[in-house]
Amino acid sequence: MPAFLPYARHTVTPEDEAAVLEILRSDNLTQGPQVEAFEREFAEKVGAKYAVAVSSGTAALHVALTMYGVGPGDEVIVPALTFAATANAVLMCGARPLFADVYEDTLFIDLDSVDVKTWKRACGVINVDYAGLPSGGTGFIRDAAHSLGATIRGRPLGQLSALTCYSLHPAKHVAAGEGGMVTTDIADFADRLRAFRDHGRVDGWMEVLGYNYRLSDIACALGRSQLRRLDANLARRREIAAAYNEAFRDLPYVQLPAELPDRTHAWHLYPIRFYNRDEVRQRLRTLGIGTQVHYPPVYWHPYYRKLGYERGLCPVAEAAYERLLSLPIWPGMTDGDVERVIDGVRGCFPA
């Protein structure tokens, strides 16, 4: 049997290795010149004035929420269908997430599903660019963990929201090992974000209670090297998505991932919907092909159940979850890998 094909995988080149080795041999391992250079290059890439590197995408969401002073007694609206970290960051502030349902096609947050009273109580909304297609919603915070490199009407995401949060986890577009980034055009936010990630210190003096959310020069050297390949990697992801769309279009009751004419997709995930999802998943597993389900509605997690959230809250997200399957999509996949997935999936359906 051919080697196991994971649903997501980072790629590391000899250039990446050399960049990291150079830092290991230098005088500085933690936050230093690599962080500053990475922030500058990242900000430029997403069209924002400032980028602030932090230790994870979750930390990015947490510090972004603190910019608005979100705290105990506050409520923040988040989509039900996202990685738990989107909602966890709200809990980390001592605030309460309010789950909104999602649109059936794009799986973006659907604010019409929230009643007006709730809407008025909330202090903001976190929009999630599900799978890598940028959501139209802007304003408060954009969780762009999936959508680095995407654009809306030709504009990069950094220009579209006050605060945009990215993840540098290896499954995402740019792997730094672990890491996150917050981008903004607001100078005061950038200053305060930098203080928050470093114990709340400004010129050595603690002004607020901060965290140690610093990212190391080792991670940033890897991130910088990876960022140089972003465009090439996005192009490869787009090719794979196009091959899947073509190959699966005619399958019975299949729902291909949403695309929108005015924006480019970053294809972090290829979330297709099958009526016989579990059967497809099982068959692919026996063929050595990894898949994943993104995501169970966040409030289905036992921890959220204990907080009092109940099943049935967001019916569209719950129904989507039953049918969603993320197929392998990552830039290092060969054409043979792509064919293997296509044959595996098509084999689940009568010819």
Using CB under 6 A, list all residues that contact ligand PLP. Answer: 56-58, 82-83, 85-86, 128, 143, 145-146, 167, 169, 180
Cα–Cα dist 102/313, whole Å:
11
Angle between helices 84-92 and 57-67 (to 10 degrees): 40
Residue closer to ligand PLP by CB (options 325, 345) is: 325
* Of residues 115, 113, 124, 144, the one with CA closest to residue 76: 124
Give the nearest residue (CB) to ligand PLP. Answer: 57
The number of residues making up the chain comes to: 351
- Residue 177 in tokens: 């090992």
Q: How far is the CB of 88 from ligand PLP (least distance, A)?
A: 9
- List alpha helices for 197-325, DSSP H: 217-227, 230-248, 277-286, 302-306, 315-323
| Cα–Cα dist 163/65, whole Å | 9
Closest CB 171 distance from ligand PLP, rounded Å: 7
Nearest residue (CB) to ligand PLP, 39 versus 143? 143
Nearer to ligand PLP, 31 or 58 (CB): 58
Q: Under 8 Å CB-to-CB from 345, ≥6 apart: which residues?
A: 247, 248, 251, 280, 284, 327
- Tokens 């995402």 label which residue? 172
Comparing CB distances to ligand PLP, the nearer of 90 and 345 is: 90
- Comparison of 219 and 313: residue with beta carbon closer to ligand PLP: 219
Phi, psi for 204 (deg, rounded to 5): 90, -15
The nearer residue to ligand PLP, 146 or 340, going by C-beta atoms, is: 146
Question: How far, in whole angstroms, is CA 121 from its chain's centroid?
Answer: 27
Q: What single-letter DSSP state applies at residue 253?
A: T
Q: Give the three-class secondary structure for 263.
A: strand
Q: Is 172 an annotated catalytic residue?
A: yes
- The catalytic position among 45, 49, 172, 306 is 172
34 vs 38: CA distance, rounded Å? 6
CA end-to-end span of the chain: 24
Residue 36 contacts by C-beta under 8 Å, 6 or more apart in sequence? none
Q: Are 243 and 336 in contact (CB under 8 A)?
A: no
Catalytic positions, written as ranges: 172
